[in-house]
């Protein structure tokens, strides 16, 4: 049983991809690459329907320009810094390819920066195929249009019962799903009241984690650190929701710990 659980959790994190920094080094927020890619695919379908977007990858534009985050980053998270998006696409001949690429580049850049909150500075595109007909749009509810939610069972979206429990502050479902005892339950309830938070998630099984942050110098005392994994509701900007969650969690705990937010899904 334990081996199966670890296998599921590893598959879940691999499915989410890397964790991309939201905002700057003082924002303390990250988003799963899979979730961001899903929104970008939806924007491409709406704005440039004659295009079929292929592989999308987002990484640091220049690792040398990356900054040290103000709070501890989640495992496998990229440090804050300018980002580069690389993508492949197929397109019809309805428009000249340079014009199609320009429209696609604009749609991706605007969505990444304004809709999500990524510090995207470069978009590199590569045409891989010419299409005879316009590609069909994805059906509502597919991974491309729902923030990249995995539907394979256990790789991202919780089951219906778990999801309902995560929405109910103070319920037994929340109490059993968070770490940190009574304080963790209080944090979960506070987070679920923040506008734009649709549910708690949890990459490694716990959506709320409370622990100690190692001091920056040997003379300083350890400071508590909280991490919250969550999904953002449609119509809300992930970066703004993450900022509001960080402020709410810090205010809810008397010692005002540092707080990191990981957006795993966009609902």
Domain assignment present for 117:
yes
- pLDDT tens track for 184-235: 899 999 999 999 999 999 766 689 998 876 555 444 556 789 999 999 999 9
User: Is residue 97 scored above 50 in pLDDT?
Assistant: yes
Count: domains in the chain:
2
Rg (CA), the chain: 19
pTM: 0.77
Average pLDDT score over residue span 149-165 = 34
- What is the separation, in whole angstroms, between the first and last Cα of the chain? 30
Mean pLDDT of 78-99: 94
Under the banding of pLDDT at 50, 70 and 90, the label for residue 147 is very low
Give the closest residue to 123 by CA, choosing from 138, 134, 111.
111
Q: Tens of pLDDT along 40-56? A: 999 999 999 999 999 89
Query: Residue 213: what pLDDT?
Result: 65
* Pair 118, 171 in one domain: no
pLDDT at 164 over 80: no
CATH number reported for the structural domain that contains residue 173 in this entry: 3.30.70.1350
Contact 262, 203 (CB under 8 A): yes
Alpha carbon 143 to its chain's center: 14
30 and 127 assigned to the same domain: yes
Q: Which domain holds residue 171?
A: 160-266
Q: Does one domain contain both 111 and 193?
A: no
- Phi first, then psi: give them for residue 261, nearest 5 degrees: -120, 135
Degrees to nearest 5, angle at CA 151 with 146 and 157 = 70
């Amino acid at each position: 049983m334990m081996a199966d659980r670890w296998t599921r959790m590893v598959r879940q994190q691999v499915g989410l991809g890397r964790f991309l920094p939201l905002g700057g080094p003082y924002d303390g927020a990250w988003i799963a690459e899979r979730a961001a890619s899903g929104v970008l695919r939806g924007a491409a379908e709406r704005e440039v329907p004659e295009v079929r977007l292929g592989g999308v990858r987002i990484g640091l534009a220049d690792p040398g320009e990356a900054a040290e985050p103000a709070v501890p980053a989640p495992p496998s998270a990229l440090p804050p810094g300018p980002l580069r998006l690389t993508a492949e696409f197929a397109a019809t001949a309805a428009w000249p390819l340079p014009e199609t690429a320009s429209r696609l580049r604009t749609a991706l850049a605007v969505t990444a920066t304004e809709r999500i909150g990524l510090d995207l500075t470069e978009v590199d595109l590569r045409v891989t195929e010419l299409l005879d007909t316009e590609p069909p749009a994805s059906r509502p509810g597919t991974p491309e249009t729902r923030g990249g939610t995995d539907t394979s069972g256990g790789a991202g979206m919780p089951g219906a019962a778990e999801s309902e429990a995560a929405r109910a502050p103070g319920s037994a479902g929340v109490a059993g799903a968070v770490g940190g005892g009574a304080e963790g339950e209080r944090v979960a309830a506070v987070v679920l009241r923040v506008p734009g938070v649709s549910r708690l998630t949890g990459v490694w099984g716990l959506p709320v984690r409370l622990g100690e942050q190692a001091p920056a110098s040997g003379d300083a005392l350890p400071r508590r650190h909280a991490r919250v994994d969550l999904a953002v509701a449609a119509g809300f900007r992930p970066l703004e929701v993450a900022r509001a969650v960080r402020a709410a969690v810090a205010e809810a705990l008397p010692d005002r710990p540092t707080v990191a937010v990981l957006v795993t899904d966009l609902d």
